[in-house]
């Protein structure tokens, strides 16, 4: 081997090494990020379960499907298609029986309490927030929510599409093999081909966000911005359905006794 050939081989080796490091480094980084994404999606799913639970308590306080529809209409929110009101026993476990001089006052406090808890849990689910650090009682840990997860999935899918097209495994391996001119020429002399089977199942699969089965919630307005509307709804409901409201509060008292 003359000096020129040696230099060419050394250059090819260096290029191959850098190409391999880039290729496998990017794949490893993407795999790690996808693992992190799936871990976070499971955490967000748990937040969603908590939000569904408190939302069902709100549905229970709202008496029935008709009243739920009216309440959401008053707040300008899309009404749930298939609400699942929590039983009275669960409402009693989750909410304190309100104290007030009038039926309207008691029901208004109960409804505001149920709504406030729902808004807080859904807000944490959608936007994330802070939780206690188990290793440091005085420290908080930030966590992301559903909306951030949506953005993250879109970002990952753009990266996956880019790697699958611009740096497809078959294309990279083909590039590397063509740099190894000596091996390639020997294969051709023996009647073989330098072509490499395309990708061989090494392409990444884009994230199917719908398959995560994460619940979807509306953006509940902060309680202080809709307090007047909720109180008016409670007043109207007590006027229309006094017996039903009394029954709800009576059942809560029995369940909490």
Its domain, for residue 45, covers: 3-168+203-256
Closest CA to 115 of 215, 225, 243, 242: 225
Query: Number of structural domains, the chain?
Result: 1
pLDDT at 120 (0 to 100): 94
Instruction: Flag whether 70 is in a domain.
Output: yes
Kindly report the backbone phi and psi dihedral angles of residue 16, in degrees, each rounded to the nearest multiple of 5, phi listed first: -60, -40
Instruction: Flag whether 114 is in a domain.
Output: yes
Instruction: Flag whether 13 is in a domain.
Output: yes
Q: Whole-angstrom Cα distance, residue 2 to residue 63?
A: 90
Instruction: Flag whether 142 is in a domain.
Output: yes
pLDDT at 254 (0 to 100): 73
Instruction: Flag whether 179 is in a domain.
Output: no
Instruction: Flag whether 105 is in a domain.
Output: yes
Per the DSSP assignment, residues forming a β-bridge with 136 are 133
> Against a cut of 0.95, is the pTM above it?
no
Instruction: Flag whether 194 is in a domain.
Output: no
pLDDT at 21 (0 to 100): 55
Return all residues near 207 (Cβ < 8 A) that are at least 6 apart.
34, 37, 153, 156, 157, 160
Average pLDDT per 10 consecutive residues for the chain, totaling 257 residues: 51 52 67 88 92 95 92 93 90 85 90 95 89 70 84 90 67 51 45 44 78 92 94 93 90 71
Q: Whole-angstrom Cα distance, residue 110 to residue 106?
A: 6
pLDDT at 188 (0 to 100): 44
């Amino acid at each position: 081997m003359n000096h020129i050939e040696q230099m060419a081989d050394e250059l090819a080796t260096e290029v191959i090494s850098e190409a391999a490091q880039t290729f496998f480094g990017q794949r490893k980084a993407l795999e790690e990020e996808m693992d992190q994404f799936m871990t976070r999606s499971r955490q967000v799913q748990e937040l969603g379960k908590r939000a569904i639970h408190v939302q069902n308590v709100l549905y229970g306080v709202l008496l029935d499907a008709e009243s739920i529809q009216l309440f959401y209409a008053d707040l300008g929110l899309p009404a749930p298609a298939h609400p699942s009101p929590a039983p009275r026993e669960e409402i009693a476990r989750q909410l304190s029986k309100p104290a007030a001089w009038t039926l309207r006052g008691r029901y208004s406090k109960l409804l505001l309490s149920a709504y406030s808890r729902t808004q807080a849990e859904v807000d944490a689910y959608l936007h994330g927030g802070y939780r206690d650090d188990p290793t440091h009682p005085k420290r908080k840990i930030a966590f992301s929510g559903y909306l951030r997860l949506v953005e993250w999935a879109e970002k990952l899918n753009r990266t996956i599409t880019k790697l699958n097209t611009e740096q497809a495994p078959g294309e990279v391996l083909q590039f590397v093999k063509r740099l190894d001119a000596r091996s390639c020429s020997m294969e051709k002399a023996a009647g073989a081909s330098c072509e490499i089977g395309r990708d061989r199942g090494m392409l990444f699969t884009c994230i199917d966000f719908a398959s995560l089965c994460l619940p979807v919630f509306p953006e509940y307005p902060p309680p202080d911005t809709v307090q007047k509307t909720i109180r008016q709804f409670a007043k109207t409901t007590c006027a229309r359905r006094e017996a039903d409201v009394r029954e709800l509060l009576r059942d809560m008292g029995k369940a909490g006794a």
